Amino acid sequence: MNPSAPPPPPASIPGTPADAILARLAARFSCREFDGSPIDRAEIEAILCDGVEAPSSCNHQNWHFIVVSEPELKLRARDISGGNLHFAHCSALIYLCFQKGWTHDKFSIVQSVAGACYHMMLSAHLRGYACIWNAGIGDTDALAAMLGVPGTFEIQGALAIGRPKPSAPKIKAPRRPPAETRSWNRFERPAHALYPARPAPAYPYWRIRNSDNPFAEWNPAAWGWDRIADFRGYAVWAKSPLAGVYRSRRQGDATTLEIATLPDLPDGAHLLEVMPWGGTYSTELRRRYGAGVHLHLAELSPHNHLFILERLRQEGLSGANVHAELFAAGRLPHADASIDAAFLPQVLEHMPETSTILAEVARVLKPGGIAVISARNSRSRYGLYYRRRLSREMVPNQGPFAPLPAATVRTRLAAHFAIVEEFGISLAAAGDATRVDGWLRRFARLYVARVAKSASR
């Protein structure tokens, strides 16, 4: 090499075409609301051609892509996926498959298909289309039967391409700051982004499955506030802030009962929701009280606020008098005796400790103010299901949690408040939302209490 030769230019120089293309690529975000219009077959073929320019392990190119464009098949694809409703309205759903037989112990075939998929995504994006990569395709046997895929091929995911509906959310999921995800010459990562795992001699990642993760740490105390805040702040973006997202059909009726336990509030009153996460309760609270009641959303991460505010907009609900407020380590930012009612639906069991937050809720409530607090009960069929099954799965996107004994929650509440009303929801492990009164409530899935701050506090 000639030592006097100028160094090669950096890959991207501001103002050059490369820089403009990279900026455009960085602006890509997933779309989950398509308008259903068709895209020319030639355009989809061009995107597929771009995709296979990706590298592949040993150049095997052992991938196979099945384009599903027929409306009837897309509807079936949506039904098989379970949750990915956008499959029905995209223009083309490209199933990502590979031929089984080679892995090089590092899933290199999976890495190769992933590279091709992302290349197709970027191609589609540059050509002006919207897209989303999906691992949530559902039962692959049902898909193989639908598409005639032989057993020697695996169906790994699906890339949905289309044109966005005008109303589709236009915000990009937040990215972690650089120092959290990279280091030079040795491993370094800030403590809040290092999540706990159960003690084990080794952590072979191929042992981890959705329904069976021997390393999953579900105890929020092992995580601590900072790591819970960090995890939830990004995980909420697993979905777009669309109307109805994160509203579980199973949980829906319980939500109605919990919200009905709150008191009526006049316009101008202040209602506090703690750790609302994806806004499933916040939207219902807005519907019940309207924009005249101040809705304080005490969250651990500003990313969750961004998500909830857009979700309110998507559901046609006013953002007026919504106060996005951060809290940390269980300490609320509100002034003493400033809140008329507080709502903590199934969040105590997500906290590393509960004494600080309960004292804080008592502090910020006005004398005579009401709090409705519910918790998943470990002394229930649900508790049994949690111990035997659920807690062996991956930690869910709403963060780690551990059900609490209803009696313990009651004792903790009684230390700060007068208990006005208490009941249980459902003796079944899941699904049912029947109210349970009397002594049996101690064994219900959810323990719900309406408590009051005594006027003398």
Ligand X SMILES: Cc1cc2nc3c(=O)[nH]c(=O)nc-3n(C[C@H](O)[C@H](O)[C@H](O)COP(=O)(O)O)c2cc1C
The residue assigned the tokens 């004398």 is: 367
Q: Of 34, 98, 153, 237, which one interacts with ligand X (CB under 6 A)?
A: 237
Gap between the Cα atoms of 203 and 262, Å rounded? 45
Q: Of 91, 134, 354, 380, which one interacts with ligand X (CB under 6 A)?
A: 134
Write 426-435 long-range contacts (CB < 8 A, 24+). Answer: 426/254, 426/382, 427/380, 427/381, 428/381, 428/382, 429/380, 429/381, 429/382, 429/384, 429/385, 430/250, 430/382, 430/385, 431/250, 433/251, 433/252, 433/253, 433/254, 433/256, 433/257, 435/257
Q: How many residues bind ligand X (CB under 6 A)?
A: 14
Give the shortest CB-354-to-ligand X separation in angstroms.
30
Largest alpha-carbon pair distance within the chain? Answer: 88
Gap between the Cα atoms of 188 and 182, Å rounded? 7
Give the shortest CB-237-to-ligand X separation in angstroms.
4
Give the shortest CB-86-to-ligand X separation in angstroms.
7
Q: Which range in 26-34, 97-105, 368-376, 405-413 contacts ligand X by CB under 6 A?
A: 26-34
Q: Of 46, 54, 133, 291, which one interacts with ligand X (CB under 6 A)?
A: 133
Task: Write the interaction track for ligand X spanning residues 262-301; mark x where CB under 6 A is met and - where it is not.
Answer: ----------------------------------------
Residue 395: CB partners within 8 Å, gap ≥ 6? Answer: 213, 216, 217, 218, 231
Q: Which is nearer to ligand X, 135 or 328 (CB)?
A: 135
394 binds ligand X (CB under 6 A): no
Alpha-carbon dihedral sign for residues 122, 127, 128, 131 = negative
Q: Which is nearer to ligand X, 133 or 385 (CB)?
A: 133
Q: Which range in 126-134, 191-199, 264-272, 377-385 contacts ligand X by CB under 6 A?
A: 126-134
Q: Which is nearer to ligand X, 133 or 195 (CB)?
A: 133
Q: Which range in 133-141, 283-291, 299-307, 392-400 contacts ligand X by CB under 6 A?
A: 133-141
* Burial tier of 457 (Cβ tally within 10 Å: 0-12, 13-18, 19+): middle
147 is written with which tokens? Answer: 């598409």
Q: Which is nearer to ligand X, 172 or 198 (CB)?
A: 172
58 binds ligand X (CB under 6 A): no
32 binds ligand X (CB under 6 A): yes
Angle between helices 71-81 and 140-147 (to 10 degrees): 170
- Would strands 339-345 and 418-425 be described as parallel, antiparallel, or unpaired? unpaired
348 binds ligand X (CB under 6 A): no
Q: How far apart are the first and last CA of the chain?
A: 80
CA Rg value for the chain:
25
84 binds ligand X (CB under 6 A): yes
244 binds ligand X (CB under 6 A): no
Q: For 342, phi and psi rounded to 5 degrees?
A: -125, 150
Q: Which range in 24-32, 143-151, 224-232, 372-380 contacts ligand X by CB under 6 A?
A: 24-32
374 binds ligand X (CB under 6 A): no
Q: From residue 236, give the alpha-carbon distance in Å to each of 209, 242, 306, 315.
A: 20, 12, 10, 17
54 binds ligand X (CB under 6 A): no
Q: Of 144, 173, 193, 197, which one interacts with ligand X (CB under 6 A)?
A: 173
Q: Interior CA angle at 36 toward 45 and 311, to 5°? A: 120
Are the CB atoms for 257 and 435 separated by under 8 Å? yes
Q: Which is nearer to ligand X, 164 or 196 (CB)?
A: 164
Q: Which is nearer to ligand X, 29 or 443 (CB)?
A: 29
354 binds ligand X (CB under 6 A): no
Q: Which is nearer to ligand X, 121 or 341 (CB)?
A: 121
Q: Of 24, 127, 170, 172, which one interacts with ligand X (CB under 6 A)?
A: 172
Give the shortest CB-2-to-ligand X separation in angstroms.
43
135 binds ligand X (CB under 6 A): yes
Cβ–Cβ contacts within 10 Å for residue 133, how many?
16
29 binds ligand X (CB under 6 A): yes
Q: Of 10, 38, 55, 136, which one interacts with ligand X (CB under 6 A)?
A: 136
Question: Would you tell me which residues interact with ligand X (CB under 6 A)?
Answer: 29-30, 32, 84, 132-136, 172-173, 237-239
